Structure 1
Amino acid sequence: MNLSKAATALLAVTSIAIPGLCQKPVPKPPQPTTFRFLNPADVNPVHLLPPPPKDGSEAQTREMDAVKHLIQTRTKERHDQAHWDASHEDTSPWQAAIGPDFDFNKFTATAKLLADVLNDQTVATSAAKNYFKRKFPVAAAMPGDTYGQWSCDDEDRKPESRPLRSYPSGHATMGFTFGVVLADLVPEKAQAILTRSNEYAYSREVCGDHYHSDVEAGHVLGTVLGTLLLHNEALKPELDAARQELRRAGITK
């Protein structure tokens, strides 16, 4: 595919500074397999998400055309941001939304809370991916395309080597889970936080890594997970400790 350099209208995104754009990707820790707070029955993917469009269906074909169009028309600037987002499956993308010098690592109670949120989000998302078993868009790439055209994954792999885990998008689910929790912790910055979550999720489409329905499923699942965690009695002490810590620092009232 001859990728066009012409910039066409993409979905609007708020220009929030991306910290450390030139930094190396953050190494991924081992994937958790057990919930610390949520009840598996409450996050059963069968009860929360519709199935994705079937391969070969009209809906899947339309989605595939949309991915191809976005790959052809994305700007270098937006693709660079999407690549950075793809490399940071942690809280760092939301730091600039809270404040220019904000650093989650300076707040131990908040960091602990968000680590537990990430744990349960990861387990729930993995269960959903394993249930739906959807192919990534790159599996239907045009002959002659390179893997890098359809993915922000820095590892050059054969499309068929990618597991059947496109639906829901893990990045999108994480983004909206963090968005819901952080917006509750720092309500003064809720709009900037949720805008960043939306931008972060859309990056998966810009990369070519996911269909739009993958991202929308992540939106739904992440919102449900964030809401459940905010109302989880066992997690309440951590939520209260994080709020107190952020108030003492003057981050929120």
Structure 2
Amino acid sequence: MLALLLALAAAQADKAASMLGATDLDPARVLPPPPAPGSAQARAELAELRTRQASRTAQQKDAAERTGETKNATIFAGVLGPRFDLARLPATARLLAIVRATEKEAIDRGKDHFARQRPWIVDPSLTPCKLGKEPLSSYPSGHATNAYAMAAVLAQLVPAKAPALMARAAEYAETRITCEQHWRSDLTAGEAFGLLLAERLMAKPAFRAVFTQAQVELAAAGIR
């Protein structure tokens, strides 16, 4: 039975489609450009990554890499408790899958527009968790955007947990610094864009309809 529920949840996620097009929310129009190469801010961000590399332990690096491999709302299970099981919460799973699909489409547009170099391209002495296949895709951070967008939506579903949800989003985003996959301003931009994305989604009647279903579902599950 559990396997069937998991399969149904996965199918819902696969069917989710973005609800915001380029005319609704364009990263190139709402985000400032990243720091110019060689600027004081760019040098400071590189110094931060070098410092993190010198201070992190192997265990911290491994933990950050494992965390970054999860790109769905299960990253908030520790905040919302064991009843937050998306396999048993189909409306909530669908809602958050829409957030993820919308974030992915929008962020890809932003990454293509800004084409910022990943840290390990600028400084080959850095040892990131992974050497990605897209060296010009650093800004903004998709992980940060996704985490903050989901946290913002969940915070409206479970207001009592809002501070903890936002703190978890920040903690999750920080793994991208530990892993040396992103610059600090990539995360800052991701936070701002994720919050804006959630706000724009909440203004969409189709999204609000699914949101209401998730609200009822979570209340019935005792997630408050």
TM-score (norm 1): 0.78
State the match for 2:8 in structure 1. none
> Over residues 92-123 of structure 1, what are the superposed CA-to-partner deviations in whole Å (9 max), with x where a residue is unaligned?
11111101453122101110111111111110
Aligned-residue Cα RMSD (Å) equals 2.0
1:183 aligns with 2:155: yes
Larger CA deviation: 54-63 vs 74-83: 74-83
Which residue of 2 is the match for residue 129 of structure 1?
Answer: 111
Structure 1 CA distance for aligned equivalents of residues 21 and 117 of structure 2: 28
Q: Report SS of the residue matched to 2:109.
A: helix
**Corresponding residue for residue 223 of structure 1:** 195
Supply the AA of the counterpart residue of 2:117.
Answer: K
Moved more, 73-82 or 128-137: 73-82
Matched, 1:57 2:39: yes
What is the CA-CA distance between 1:80 and the residue it aligns to? Answer: 3.1
Work out which of the residue numbers 90, 115, 123 in structure 2 matches 1:141: 123
Secondary structure in 1 matching 2:206:
coil
Name the one with the larger helix percent: 2
Cα displacement (A) at 1:65: 1.0
Q: Percent identity?
A: 34
The equivalent of 1:163 in structure 2 is 135
* CA–CA separation in structure 2 for the residues paired with 1:58 and 1:126: 27
1:243 to 215, 221, 224: 215
Gaps of 5+ in 2: 1-10
1:37–1:120 CA contact under 8 A, matched in 2: yes
**Partner Cα distance (2:216, 2:114) in 1:** 40
Runs of 4 or more consecutive aligned structure 1 residues displaced over 3 Å after TM superposition: 75-78
Q: Distance in 2 between matches of 1:215 and 1:59?
A: 14
Give the aligned partner of residue 212 of structure 1.
Answer: 184
Query: Does residue 119 of structure 2 align to residue 110 of structure 1?
Result: no
CA distance in 2, matches of 1:113, 1:162: 29
Q: Does 1:67 align with 2:39?
A: no
Matched, 1:47 2:29: yes
Aligned amino acid, residue 229 of structure 1: L
| Structure 1 unmatched runs, 5+ | 1-28
| Count of matched residue pairs | 211
Q: What is aligned with 1:203?
A: 175
1:14-29 matched pairs, under 5 angstroms: none
What TM-score comes out, normalization by structure 2 length? Answer: 0.87
Q: CA separation in 2, counterparts of 1:234 and 1:110? A: 14
Deviations 1:208-239 (A, max 9, x none): 11100000000010010011112221211100
Structure 1 pair 87–194 and aligned structure 2 pair: CA distance change class (3 A): same
Counterpart residue identity of residue 182, structure 2? H
CA distance in 1, matches of 2:134, 2:18: 28
Q: Relative to structure 1, is the Cα distance of residues 49 and 230 closer, same or farther in structure 2, using a 3 angstrom cutoff?
A: same
Q: How much has 1:162 moved relative to structure 2? A: 3.2
